[in-house]
Structure 1
């Protein structure tokens, strides 16, 4: 791939968009499929410990995924956007310096997340309705998992740096390897495979910590050794406020979106918790698939980030928008298809984790309402990532605000009226639909710059 500004054209600025998007998205899809399988394996391991453990996972999982969405989607999108816009403008030195500043942000964020969850975790989980054995299981998992927050932030930040340069293969291979290692170590440490004693929920969490630690070390070495288009020179790069600002003006605003998503899930979790452990376990299985849809949409949306970002950096606004809408259409089709499957056959997913009739019934109720609108959810998520590539995060954040307000206000009314479980799932469905449709409106109305003459 030629450098922007060189005599040879940059294919990210000239090649047909759909083939490029598919070329970038497919490696991400493979990596995200592996990540999804790792999450499925973790849930299956936890299912061996009984319904209280599944309920505990339902309590703690939103905070695990919140960290993933912050580091990979929001701040990671800000990192990829800044790097790709710099390369699109032909400034490789700035792109290298941005990578170093991104690493410092990741290190600080990882430490803050660890301290926050270890000190406030039990209070947060209790506020969600966690009690008794379910709370104990959630704490056993969380107290280990959040010790590795720095590794999660580093993996996702370093991967975002490399993606911003238009290289999807290296991050995807790394994440694939991390997922496989997580599956193996989760079984070894959690269930006691081989000569190892079973450590339960703590062991399952420890498998993820070790896997992400190895992934962080590999990606750091890849960048520091000069094997990627971006070089990581920690000692030779001075702090510059402007570079931190370039990342944070997109990434920090974008962090509001996953916060809104998790708050929405937490409100719904608290509403479902009043119906007992079986309902909470079934809902937790359902929302785990919802959270796994985020990486699927991520695989497509993040593929659009370098296409959009480099086009914006080069002043090709029309091309940037075309890339965004192409990615949005693809994400809608893929997630819509998955939604149709689980709507018609919910036990294909739920049966992987439990055979308890009450749990299966609760999860089926969730999918009857949520499945049909998964396509709109994917539409909104893809536009979120494309907006990050353009450096315009406000529109998707406003769409998430509307969803949160609907769920919070509607949830309050449903709690006061003591309505049945299905009404909560109906509210969830309406919130997803509103998010997708309003994202389309906000992206269309947001100016992305002036087309280069």
Structure 2
């Protein structure tokens, strides 16, 4: 009698699932995807963190250089462009870190599942989202820009310069959005070398171009402050073309079609959901600093200058924390896509600890030697005293900011942003209420720094529960 080779449905189910996963993955995994899925986690994060941090820091330096060049044309130009610059930075932050973060983690997750064709379509989703968002940004800023700058206290010649600069830079908002969203698609593949080349190469081009367009060169008289806006748009336009050439030229693992494929609103809405919640976290970071600045300003110019010098170090925590957190999100997403839940959870904890160690070491060093940092900006005794007080009280808690920002990136990867949003709003609320109590009690303005420290602790701890409960991993 022959033995039966027919398996029962219960016995066949695990085999069918294994075969299904095998069919979903390509025969030869992309080297970068393999690195995300199989290589030691901590070295992988560090390998990605270096170029990621480089991109963030260079983009900040590009903005600072732009303001520096414009400042050489006069005080009115500096005042006018200074009013526009935060709004441009906000658009870049939302496009790159918020909505871009949603694209990065989605592409990494789909690649982790081995669905290269589906991942390739996200190049077109970047265009689908970038064009209308860019046009909407242009329409809003053209209509409301001059009025907004006037309400910010800009007037006279400075207002004219602000309106002119704003009209030029925001008329090309679409290329700013496309630059950052297409970069997000590339970053989602684990390739962070291409963004370094594009950003650093563009920066090297931008420096002489910006000076030539502002001040003139070779007999050309220059456009004044508006020349800086033209140079910035040239930087974003050429960078957009470079990312498009890389993606549609099929130089990487993604192979997007030349023709527009049939796209669905579901993936686009999913990206918008993560991006929208991420934008809340990004915005509240700037909001918290603005609120504390307003409270500290009641203590006089020296107090404001001291706090401003100290808080600049806090600004640097964002690119450093995201330098670690961004790669952590990529590693988690790829492993969740591959069904490697335990590795994704492990990567989350390693990333959080790395971000904490980096930011806490900076905070403790600043608290121990505060005048070494504050002295870079002023030697005024009152400024040094207030700045040192800020770093003494807040520096030891910088690590909680690192935890919160790393968990923000983890939330993007797991698509569970609720805890990070709550933690960010709580941090802002503590700053508002703490400052109000200080003003009400007529206490020394440096007591505001206690509220800042407590807010950082809340930002880190209140975002932890999803990781502890493994929400979004299963």
TM range (shorter): 0.7 to 0.9
Please give the per-residue CA displacement for 1:273-298, whole angstroms capped at 9, x wherever unaligned: 55677766665565554334322222
Structure 1's unaligned 5+ residue stretches are none
Cα gap change, 1:236 to 1:53, in 2 (>3 Å): closer
CA distance in structure 2 between the aligned counterparts of 1:321 and 1:151, rounded to whole angstroms: 36
> Which has the larger displacement, 293-302 or 183-192?
183-192
| Residue of structure 2 in register with 1:386 after alignment | 410
The answer (yes or no) to whether the contact 2:430–2:452 under 8 Å persists in 1 is no
Indicate which of 26, 38, 43 corresponds to 1:6. 26
CA distance in structure 2 between the aligned counterparts of 1:331 and 1:11, rounded to whole angstroms: 21
> Which has the larger displacement, 30-39 or 78-87?
30-39
| Residue of structure 2 in register with 1:220 after alignment | 244
1:402 aligns with 2:433: no
CA distance in structure 2 between the aligned counterparts of 1:364 and 1:139, rounded to whole angstroms: 38
1:154 aligns with 2:178: yes
**Higher RCO, 1 or 2 (CA under 8 Å, sep at least 6)?**
1
Structure 2's unaligned 5+ residue stretches are 1-21
Indicate which of 77, 81, 86 corresponds to 2:110. 86
CA distance in structure 2 between the aligned counterparts of 1:123 and 1:88, rounded to whole angstroms: 48
Indicate which of 252, 261, 281 corresponds to 1:257. 281
1:230 aligns with 2:266: no
Cα gap change, 1:300 to 1:361, in 2 (>3 Å): same
Please give the per-residue CA displacement for 1:344-390, whole angstroms capped at 9, x wherever unaligned: 55676666667788777766565455444333212211221122122
1:309 aligns with 2:329: no
CA distance in structure 2 between the aligned counterparts of 1:316 and 1:8, rounded to whole angstroms: 18
Please give the per-residue CA displacement for 1:108-164, whole angstroms capped at 9, x wherever unaligned: 222222333343345555656667888777666545443443222212111111111
Cα gap change, 1:428 to 1:43, in 2 (>3 Å): farther
TM-score (norm 1): 0.84
| Residue of structure 1 in register with 2:447 after alignment | 423
Please give the per-residue CA displacement for 1:202-245, whole angstroms capped at 9, x wherever unaligned: 44444333222221121112112111222343633123122213
Q: Root-mean-square deviation (CA), in Å?
A: 3.7
CA distance in structure 1 between the aligned counterparts of 2:296 and 2:411, rounded to whole angstroms: 33
Cα gap change, 1:235 to 1:413, in 2 (>3 Å): farther
Cα gap change, 1:441 to 1:91, in 2 (>3 Å): same
Cα gap change, 1:273 to 1:335, in 2 (>3 Å): same
Taking the TM superposition and a 5 Å limit, the aligned residue runs for 1:437-448 are 437-445=461-469, 447-448=471-472
| Residue of structure 2 in register with 1:339 after alignment | 363
Please give the per-residue CA displacement for 1:23-80, whole angstroms capped at 9, x wherever unaligned: 1112212323323433443454466578887776765554333222211111111101
1:169 aligns with 2:193: yes
> Which has the larger displacement, 219-228 or 349-358?
349-358
Give aligned pairs, total. Answer: 449
TM-score (norm 2): 0.80
Indicate which of 49, 65, 75 corresponds to 1:25. 49
CA distance in structure 2 between the aligned counterparts of 1:340 and 1:13, rounded to whole angstroms: 34
Q: Residue 18 of structure 1: CA displacement?
A: 1.0
Indicate which of 312, 326, 351 corresponds to 1:327. 351
| Residue of structure 2 in register with 1:290 after alignment | 314
Please give the per-residue CA displacement for 1:404-447, whole angstroms capped at 9, x wherever unaligned: 22123333444555555423444333322321222223432351
Cα gap change, 1:374 to 1:116, in 2 (>3 Å): farther
CA distance in structure 2 between the aligned counterparts of 1:155 and 1:46, rounded to whole angstroms: 23
> Which has the larger displacement, 100-109 or 307-316?
100-109
CA distance in structure 1 between the aligned counterparts of 2:134 and 2:223, rounded to whole angstroms: 25
Cα gap change, 1:86 to 1:75, in 2 (>3 Å): same
Indicate which of 98, 112, 124 corresponds to 2:136. 112
Provide the secondary structure at the position in 2 that maps to 1:439: coil
> Which has the larger displacement, 400-409 or 263-272?
263-272
Please give the per-residue CA displacement for 1:155-213, whole angstroms capped at 9, x wherever unaligned: 21111111111211112221222333344444444566776657665444443332222
The answer (yes or no) to whether the contact 1:308–1:323 under 8 Å persists in 2 is yes
Please give the per-residue CA displacement for 1:286-314, whole angstroms capped at 9, x wherever unaligned: 55543343222222111122211111112
Q: Larger C-alpha radius of gyration, 1 or 2?
A: 2
